[in-house]
Amino acid sequence: MNSAECLWVYEVEEFGPLTVTIDSHGGNLTAESIKNIEANKQKILQEL
Amino acid sequence: MMDIAQVVEDTAAKLLEISATKLPSKVKEALIQDEKDTEGSLGKSQLKAINENVNLAETFTKPMCQDTGLVSFFVKVGDKFPIKSEVKTALIKATEKATEKVPLRPNAVDMFEGNTKNNVGLRGYVPWFYFDLVEGDKCEIIAMPKGGGSSNVGKMKMVPPGKGIKGVKEFVVEAVAAAGPLACPPYTVGVGVGGGEDMCMNLAKKALLRPLYQYHEDENIASIEKELKDILNKLEIGAMGLGEGTSVFDVHMEFAARHPASLPVGVVISCWALRHAGATIDREGNVEFHLH
Ligand code: SF4
């Protein structure tokens, strides 16, 4: 493939540290964040 | 005689390169400041990665993000500027050229024929042009490539006019909350109010071109922009949506008159990679790149 719109396979050394947002134990930082944003939104709208 | 069309083409190709590889200085500073100010390690690490990436992109003149956006140009053509419709042709050629040279990711996909591979649509419209006719003998070009991820969270609503400015604010809060972590925050938010259903979106996009922390010249509007910025940061979206760091750098609003029966509100959200670059060309073909 010659374009930038594709998947690349890399071999890397010293990879990370990384943030795992979704793990295999059911943890999901994005879902948690969405929940928090939703709750904050309700509060904001009431006070507006 | 200088070939003006060629100057326009070369300048626009350069602008696409600058916008893809170098952030406007205000945006760059805001990201660096945010990295300093963010206490949580989760948010700080995201901002550190973004800033490192921004530096590498600038050093090697390579795109700061794999998504180099859908190309649009904001153009003001002076009455006495030697070429008019040829400007369009030159901008299309510039887009093809920059796609090869920078390179830009081929992002123009035809519904039926697939990716055109050169960022130019098969049926016109892409790159998209916002043309304005102005006095004088110059031509101003601003290139604005906008990523798909942050365009996906744009929203438009015909707010019931009775709700007034409160309805506008509510919708902006709803739109940015819905974007949440999805579109690579910290965000800059453009809001267009009034006009018709299409114009409010155009205005919202145009509002993103205003430098960060430069508020509307109308004080009333400026204070609403600042109020919304504070309110939106209470959503706690944070860097890359992880809840730590600034959620929204700035809110820019543009207002047009509206029909008595409607109150259109457009919200266009930019990811951290708020990219644009501009230049002015005079009738002799001298090019002045805008402070970036
Ligand atoms: S939203 Fe912006 S930073 Fe994120 S992938 Fe798209 S263009 Fe890149």
B177 touches chain A (CB under 8 A): yes
Question: Residue A4: which pLDDT band, with cuts at 50, 70 and 90?
Answer: low
Q: Kindly tell me if the per-residue pLDDT of B207 is higher than 80.
A: yes
Tell me the CA–centroid distance for residue B102 and ligand 1, in Å.
17
Instruction: Determine the residue of chain B that is closest to A21 in CA distance.
Output: B242
Establish whether residue B19 lines the binding site of ligand 1, counting it when its CB lies within 6 angstroms of any ligand atom.
Answer: no
A1: pLDDT confidence band, cut at 50, 70 and 90?
very low
**Each residue of A7-34: b (16+ CB within 10 Å) or e?**
eeeeeeeeeeeeeebeeeeeeebeeebb
Q: What are the backbone angles phi and psi of residue B29, rounded to the nearest 5°?
A: -60, -40
What pLDDT is stored for residue B219 in this prediction?
98
For chain B, give every domain's residue range: 4-20+64-147+275-289, 149-270
Tell me which amino acid residue B33 is: Q
For B98-148, what is each residue's pLDDT tens digit? Answer: 999 999 999 999 999 999 999 999 999 999 999 999 999 999 999 999 999
* pLDDT at position A7: 77
pLDDT digits over B225-267, tens only?
999 999 999 999 999 999 999 999 999 999 999 999 999 999 9
The mean pLDDT value of chain A amounts to 88
**Complex ipTM value:** 0.92
pLDDT single digits (tens) B176-193? 999 999 999 999 999 999
The mean pLDDT value of chain B amounts to 97
- Cβ contacts of B134 within 8 Å, gap of 6 or more: B76, B77, B78, B79, B140
What is the pTM for the complete model shown?
A: 0.95
Determine the residue among B184, B234, B244, B251 to mutate to test chain A binding: the one whose Cβ has the most chain A Cβ atoms within 10 Å: B234
Over residues A17-21, the mean pLDDT reads 87
CATH of domain B4-20+64-147+275-289: 3.30.360
Compute φ and ψ for B174, nearest 5 degrees: -60, -45
Q: Is the pLDDT of residue B210 over 70?
A: yes
Q: How far apart are CA B36 and CA B245, in angstroms?
A: 10
| Dihedral sign computed on CA atoms, order B193, B197, B203, B204 | positive
Kindly list the strands in the beta sheet with B277-281, ordered across the sheet, starting from the edge strand earlier in the chain. B128-134, B70-78, B139-146, B277-281, B287-289
- Torsion of the alpha carbons at B9, B14, B19 and B24, rounded to the nearest 10: -120
Å between B130 CA and nearest CA of chain A: 27
* Cα–Cα distance for residue pair B53/B37, rounded to 1 Å: 19
The mean pLDDT of B72-95, rounded to a whole number, is 97
Grade residue B291 by pLDDT with cuts at 50, 70 and 90: confident
Tracing tokens 């790159």 back to the chain, one arrives at B127
The number of C-beta contacts closer than 8 angstroms across A and B is 64
Q: Which atom of ligand 1 is nearest to the CA of B69?
A: 7
The residues facing A22 across adjacent strands are A28
